[in-house]
Structure 1
Amino acid sequence: MRLQSVFLLCAAALPSFVFPFPNVPFKTSKRWIIDSTGANFTYIGVNWPGAADVMIPEGLQYASIASIVSKIKSLKMNSVRLTFAIEMIDDIKDNGGDVTIQKAFTKALGSRRVVHTFVFDAVAAELAKQQIYVHLDNHMSKGAWCCSTSDGNSWFGDTYFNADKWKRGLQFMADHTKAWTSMVSIGLRNEFRKPDKAGAQAYNWQTWYTQVVAAANLVNAANPNILIFLSGLDFDTTLSPIPGAGDLGGGQKFQKSSFKYADKLVLELHNYQNSATSCDSMKSGLYNNGFKAQDASSANQMPVILTEFGYSQTDTSFSGVYASCLRKIIPEWHAGWTIWALSGSYYIRSGTQDYEETWGLLNHQWSDWRSANAINGLRQMIDASLK
């Protein structure tokens, strides 16, 4: 598909007006997320990657935004975790402002590396039109495939992880997305991890607290209406000291009650225990690593969302211990979730153009589901979560 066609598809996705939802903004109440009518809301959604080399939501070389969103809607999902890179804002702030879509594709498939927020606006507009909520996620600093301890994006002070630019980028996006009708939340950072590089800031909970709280303050000031998701350490597999207000080091503790916007804070975890052989073991691990925050006995009772989990769509993984266990326990806990990932292919990933994503719910051409059996398994989780 020619780049000019991609531009037209994006432009066509912008409606002359967007149907507003009557039940935003969201807030939290103890372990629950509550909409403006007072009803509980459970995130049931999918990750739509937009933080890789091109820094544009994936799939638009194959399908229109409207057709992609329609597929999400057909599963009865109510939310999308839309990922972005801080480099997108750096280009706007430091490199002469926002630029054309054609240059964005040239970035990954040719020479310069630039992106245009117009496409994100178009995706958000179509999601709102089809009554799907947007959870924006800062996935990386430098636009690239995520994640490793050597990719330069792992921790504050790593090669590409400039803490000040990170905060500036979050503040910019919190402000920019106030125009998105169905924008309800933002994740401050995806998968903090210990960097291989020497010279980064100390990898510990004290550094996490200092940086994350400063960023959350800026985001809340820029847009007080949106929820703020806090991710943990070790690729966001643990939030262990947070539920019980444990010592973060030096006597520092996370106390939800100390935040003026305490009713906007949510915890998020990831889980990829694809080789699991015991659901009981998985359940215990997830609980102790963060989901205990949902219990009334926790010092910091908060909602916990499983914002990433996933498995191959090309085999029988959907019926294995890992997928079956999550399909059971996450709805039982009344916890929200967003599966990784929607994308059947990437513009470019790790140097390979038109990369095949076998974990993608959609096929390579974004025209249909990759596996009817896997999707049927996922529908069971959706139906259980909707009850």
Structure 2
Amino acid sequence: MANHVWRYWLSACVAILEVFASPNTLRATWPNGPFVTSGRWIHDAAGSTVTYVGVNWPGSLDTMIPEGLQYQSIQSIVSKIKSLGMNTIRLTYATEMIDQYYDNDETDVTIQKALTNALGQDSGRAVYDKIIANNPSFNDETTRLEVYDAIAAECAKQEIYIHLDNHISKAGWCCSPLDGNSWWGDEFFNIDNWTRGLSFMATHGKTWPSLTSMSLRNELRIPLNNVTFASSSYSWERWYTYVKQGSSAIHKANGDVLIFLSGLDSDQDLSPVVNGTALTPGSATFSQGDFSGFANKLVLELHAYDNIFGPGPSNCTTVKVKLFNAGLKALTDEAENQFPVVLTEFGLLQNGTASQDPYISCLLDYVPSANAGWMIWEIGGSYYIREGTQDQDESW
């Protein structure tokens, strides 16, 4: 009997030690990161497949404060996202926020000052008072970065991944080929400030358990405000130079996060990357060997709105072929370079005709069947200010 009891307790102790010694068990706390990629899949630390399913939350417009907090609390907004079955928020920011931090002796701007600067004294105060009423943990000393911190903390509490997106350089509405934010070296797109901003946010986000990935840049596009500059600079060859530079900046600052690469034509084309063809006008091709030490951190992102398919696409085959050729081919064995792909923006006009638009039903059928991730544009109903109009409605 004594031997039986001894063997029982010995077995129990061994089982307990095995549980606590298991690396996967030790790292099983959500989000069970860091995430890595393998071919066309994203995996967590236990090797389980992760698929991003989420929504955009803009914070890169004039105030540089995530939108909508004058109407609801952070807790309420994240709870509603969670209730939809989503697991990701693509949280956007402007490089200008980090530029101002450094220009202000490494001190961030308070939300009260940011609102006053963007909306004026009276309107700024009125919106600020509403934000404080909904989010009573904020006060006159709360900064914009602390709002990001609060969102990250709530996302960790509710187990929502944060994908941090460098949306624009000079804060404002995005994206136009004439806005000076289109391409590296454009009027407001300072390359050194961009890499500094990526490094800063990657470092700042190391304290966020919810931060699992970051983008290099939203919707790279031809800078039509300077045709001479565009003709000499806008190319896949130049894209590759800066993608390697930005990726290295993020990985050096935070080796845990995935890094999303967007393509040309407002992120509607990644074909040379997927197909391994020349990055023109040069002859070099995309090589994961050029991302030494973090090639298993790279993800491709695409954008797809119905206007890219021309007027009234009614054939789902057309939608599928265009998306496949744009970059979803990376999810298949046909690709020269396989990657996970996430549709980080898609959407349609919310004017009562959505159910009549065949594009959206085609997209919603094809993207999940391809096992691609997706993030819809966007969660907010309006903006603090957009293109000079306060509380402008968001119709997409």
Q: State the TM-score, normalized to the length of structure 2.
A: 0.83
**Residue in structure 1 matching 2:295, options 262, 278, 281:** 262
Structure 2 Cα separation of the partners of residues 24 and 193 of structure 1? 33
Q: Secondary structure at the match of 2:272?
A: coil
Partner of residue 277 from structure 2, selected from 228, 246, 258: 246
Q: Which moved more, 1:281-290 or 1:255-264?
A: 255-264
- 8 A Cα contact 1:55 1:115, kept in partner: no
Q: What is the SS of the residue equivalent to 2:271?
A: coil
- Greater alpha carbon shift after TM alignment, 268-277 vs 43-52: 268-277
In structure 2, relative to structure 1, the CA distance for the partners of 1:347 and 1:20 (3 Å cut) is farther
Distance 1:234 1:22 in 2: 33
Q: 1:86 to 1:316 in 2, by over 3 A?
A: same
Structure 1 segment 30-109 matched on structure 2, within 5 A: 30-96=39-105, 97-109=107-119
**1:23 equivalenced with 2:54 (yes/no):** no
Partner SS, residue 123 of structure 1: helix
For the 8 Å contact 1:25–1:184, the answer to whether it is kept is: yes
The answer on whether the counterparts of 2:41 and 2:340 sit within 8 Å (CA) in structure 1 is yes
Distance 1:309 1:158 in 2: 26
Distance in 1 between residues matched to 2:369 and 2:75, nearest whole Å: 33
What is the rounded CA distance, in whole Å, between the counterparts of 2:246 and 2:85 in structure 1? Answer: 33
The amino acid that maps onto 1:310 is G
Amino acid at match of 2:351: T
Q: Which residue of 1 aligns with 2:206?
A: 178
Q: How does 1:162-241 map to 2 (within 5 A)?
A: 162-198=190-226, 199=229, 202-241=233-272
2-structure distance, mates of 1:329, 1:37: 28
Give the letter for the 1:164 counterpart.
Answer: D
SS at 2:115 equivalent: helix
Distance 1:304 1:339 in 2: 14
- 1:320 matched to 2:357? The reply is yes
Q: Percent identity?
A: 55
Distance 1:310 1:115, change over 3 A: farther
CA RMSD of aligned residues (A): 1.7
Q: 2:313, 2:358 within 8 Å by CA — same for their partners in 1?
A: yes
Matching of residue 331 in structure 1 with residue 365 in structure 2: no
Whether the 8 Å CA contact 1:136–1:185 is kept in 2: the answer is yes
SS in 2 for 1:263: helix
In the alignment, structure 2 segments of 5+ residues that lack a partner are 1-27, 125-141
Does the CA-based 8 Å contact 2:306-2:348 persist in structure 1? Answer: no
| Counterpart for residue 325 of structure 2 | 288
Alpha-carbon shift at residue 115 of structure 1 (Å): 6.3
Report the Cα offset of residue 314 of structure 1: 2.9
Q: Is the 8 A contact 2:179 2:225 kept in 1?
A: no
**TM-score (normalised: structure 1):** 0.85
CA distance in 2, matches of 1:81, 1:22: 16
- Residue 95 of structure 1 and its aligned partner are, at CA, apart by 2.9
SS in 1 for 2:266: coil
Can you list the C-alpha shifts for 1:166-186, whole angstroms capped at 9, x where unaligned? Answer: 011001101110001110000
Give the CA deviation at 1:107.
2.0
Shifted more, 251-260 versus 85-94: the winner is: 251-260
Give the aligned residue type for 2:112: Q
- What is the distance in 2 between the residues matched to 1:318 and 1:153? 34
**How many aligned positions are there?**
340
Q: Aligned letter for 2:146?
A: F
Between the aligned partners of 1:256 and 1:293, the Cα distance in structure 2 is 14
In 2, Cα distance between equivalents of 1:346 and 1:115 = 19
Provide the rounded CA distance (Å) in 2 between the counterparts of 1:68 and 1:22.
20
Q: Which runs of 5+ in 1 are unaligned?
A: 1-18, 360-387
Q: Please say if residues 48 and 58 of structure 1, whose CA atoms lie closer than 8 Å, have aligned partners that are also in contact.
A: yes
Q: Which amino acid aligns with 1:322?
A: Y
Secondary structure, counterpart of 2:249 in structure 1: helix
Match of 1:16 in 2: none
User: Is this contact kept in 2: 1:54–1:115, CA < 8 A?
Assistant: no
Secondary structure, counterpart of 2:78 in structure 1 = helix
Q: Does 1:141 align with 2:165?
A: no
52-61 or 191-200, larger mean C-alpha shift: 191-200
Does structure 1 retain, via aligned residues, the 8 Å contact 2:32–2:46? yes
Tell whether 2:301 aligns with 1:273. Answer: no
How far is 1:189 from its partner?
0.2
Q: Structure 1 299/293 Cα, relative in aligned 2: closer, same or farther at 3 Å?
A: same
Q: Report if aligned partners of 1:193, 1:233 keep a CA contact under 8 Å in 2.
A: yes
Structure exhibiting the larger radius of gyration computed from Cα positions? 2
